[in-house]
Amino acid sequence: MRTALFCLALVALPACSLFHPGKGEVSAPGEAYQRIEFEGAMAATSERAACTAVGGEIVASGRLQRENCVQTFTDAGKTCAGNRDCLGECRYEGEAELAPGTPVAGTCQVTDARFGCRTVVENGQIAHTLCVD
């Protein structure tokens, strides 16, 4: 089980860096965002303070129920054609599952929560769907 998780991490982490260069740093014109990471499964007092200082909420998530600092993006809900238009990802929020390449209007993601399913929009069309548990 550990080996499988390690292999998954090796595959997933480089993909994350395509959208979020550096350690959680994402920027858009006139905006700055710094992802707050916790060292352990539970946030230390100083980590909790850092999270709440930026308006974040501490949420237990994923199968392991590790605590995460979840922050709301300032451009949440803005219409987008791709990730370059957003602080986070540009996502398709429609009800229907659409095939990659289908033209759609995207919406900038609301929070930096990492878990759940999401469909990413690039160049005004469905790029892929990813579920993280």
Asked whether residue 12 is assigned to any structural domain, the reply reads: no
Asked whether residue 9 is assigned to any structural domain, the reply reads: no
Asked whether residue 33 is assigned to any structural domain, the reply reads: yes
- Is the whole-model pTM more than 0.85? no
Asked whether residue 123 is assigned to any structural domain, the reply reads: yes
Q: To the nearest whole number, what is the mean pLDDT of the chain? A: 82
Number of domains into which the chain is organized: 1
* Calculated CA dihedral for residues 113, 54, 14, 28, nearest 10 degrees: 100
How far apart CA 25 and CA 103 sit, in angstroms, is 29
What are the tens digits of pLDDT across the range 42-97?
Answer: 999 999 999 999 999 999 999 999 999 999 999 999 999 999 999 999 999 998 89
Q: Which residues contact 79 (CB under 8 A, 6 or more apart)?
A: 105, 106, 107, 108
Enclosing H/E stretch for 48: helix 45-53
Check residue 31 and give its pLDDT: 53
How far apart CA 92 and CA 99 sit, in angstroms, is 12
Asked whether residue 88 is assigned to any structural domain, the reply reads: yes
Check residue 57 and give its pLDDT: 97
Asked whether residue 50 is assigned to any structural domain, the reply reads: yes
Least confident range of 9-13, 16-20, 28-32, 111-115:
16-20
Asked whether residue 16 is assigned to any structural domain, the reply reads: no
Give the range of the structural domain holding residue 60, as residue numbers without chain letter: 21-132
